[in-house]
Structure 1
Amino acid sequence: MSSGLRVGLVGAGMVSAYHVAGWQAAEGAALVAIADPDPARAAGRAARVPGAQVFSTLDEMIAAVDLDVIDIATPPATHAGLVGRAQAAGLHVICQKPLAGDAARAAAIVDALSSSSRVMVHENWRWRATYRALRTALKESRIAAPGRFEFRVESAGLLKDASGLYPALQRQPFFATMPRLLVFELLVHHLDVLAFLFGDVEILAAELSRRCPAVIGEDRARIELMAGGMPGVLTADFCVEGQPAAPKDLLFIDAGGKPVVDGWELNLPGANARRWNPEDAYQASYTSTISHFIDCLAAGTPFETPPQEALKTLRLVDRIYEIAGWP
Structure 2
Amino acid sequence: MPTTLKKPIIRVGVAGAGAISQFHLIGWGEVEGIEVVAICDPDIARAQARAEEFGIPGVYTDVAEMLSAESLDALDIITPVGSHAPLVRLAADHGVHVVCQKPMTPTVAEAEELIRDIGDRVRFCVHENYRFRPHYAEVRQWVTEGRIGELQHVRLTMRSASMVAAEGETPFLLGRQPYLAEFPRLLIFEMLIHQMDALRAMVGELEVTSATVSRTNPTLKGEDTGVIVMRQCEGGASVVLDANISAMGYPPLPTDRLEVIGSRDTVIMDRDEIYLVSDPDNRKKHDLKANYQACFSGLIASFVKGLREGTPFPTDRLDNLETLRLMESAYEVSGWKPS
Q: Please report the TM-score for the alignment, with normalisation by the length of structure 2.
A: 0.91
Looking at structure 2, the residues matched to 52 and 163 of structure 1 have their Cα atoms a distance apart, in angstroms, of: 41
Instruction: Tell me, yes or no, if the aligned pair for 2:261 and 2:267 is still in contact at 8 Å.
Output: no
From 17, 22, 40, the equivalent of 1:17 is: 22
Any conservation in 1 of the 2:215–2:224 contact (CA below 8 Å)?
yes
Q: Which residue of 2 aligns with 1:83?
A: 88
1:28 Cα offset (Å): 2.8
Match of 1:234 among 238, 241, 256: 241
Aligned-CA RMSD value: 1.9
Residue range with higher mean Cα deviation, 250-259 or 278-287: 250-259
Partner of 1:74: 79
Does 188-197 or 105-114 show the bigger shift? 105-114
Matched, 1:287 2:297: yes
| Aligned equivalent of 1:47 | 52
Which residue of structure 2 lines up, in the alignment, with residue 114 of structure 1?
119
The one-letter code sitting in structure 1 at the alignment partner of 2:257 is L
1:147 counterpart (152, 155, 175): 152
State the match for 1:253 in structure 2. 260
- 2:122 and 2:148 mapped to 1: Cα distance? 40
Residue pairs, 1:1-327, within 5 angstroms? 4-161=9-166, 164-227=169-232, 228=234, 229-254=236-261, 260-268=268-276, 270=279, 272-327=282-337
Separation in structure 1 between the aligned mates of residue 56 and residue 307 of structure 2, nearest angstrom: 25
Kindly state the Cα deviation for residue 190 of structure 1 after the two structures are TM-superposed.
0.8
Gaps of 5+ in 2: 1-7
- Return the TM-score normalized by structure 1: 0.94
CA drift of 1:213 comes to: 2.0
For residues 243-268 of structure 1, give each alpha carbon's deviation from its aligned partner in whole angstroms, at most 9, with x where no partner exists: 21111111112399987112232224
Deviation at 1:274, TM superposition (A): 1.7
* Residue range with higher mean Cα deviation, 156-165 or 213-222: 156-165
C-alpha separation in 1, matches of 2:121 and 2:332: 36
Change (3 A) 1:124 1:158: same
Match of 1:260, as an amino acid?
Answer: I
Contact 1:149 1:254 in 2 (8 A): yes
2:148–2:267: 8 Å Cα contact kept in structure 1?
no
Residue 206 of structure 1 aligns to a residue in which SS?
Answer: strand
Go from structure 1 to structure 2 and tell me whether the alpha carbon gap of 1:200 and 1:257 turns closer, same or farther (over 3 Å shift).
closer
Q: Which runs of 5+ in 1 are unaligned?
A: none
Is residue 27–residue 291 contact of structure 1 (8 Å, CA) maintained in 2?
no
Q: How many residues align?
A: 325
Q: Is the 8 A contact 2:147 2:265 kept in 1?
A: no
Identical-pair percentage? 37
Return the offset for 1:121: 0.5
Question: Given the superposition, is the C-alpha separation of residues 326 and 17 from structure 1 closer, same or farther in structure 2, using an over 3 Å criterion?
Answer: same
SS in structure 1 at match of 2:151: coil
CA contact (8 A) 2:149 2:265 kept: no
2:5 counterpart residue number: none
Deviation at 1:173, TM superposition (A): 1.0
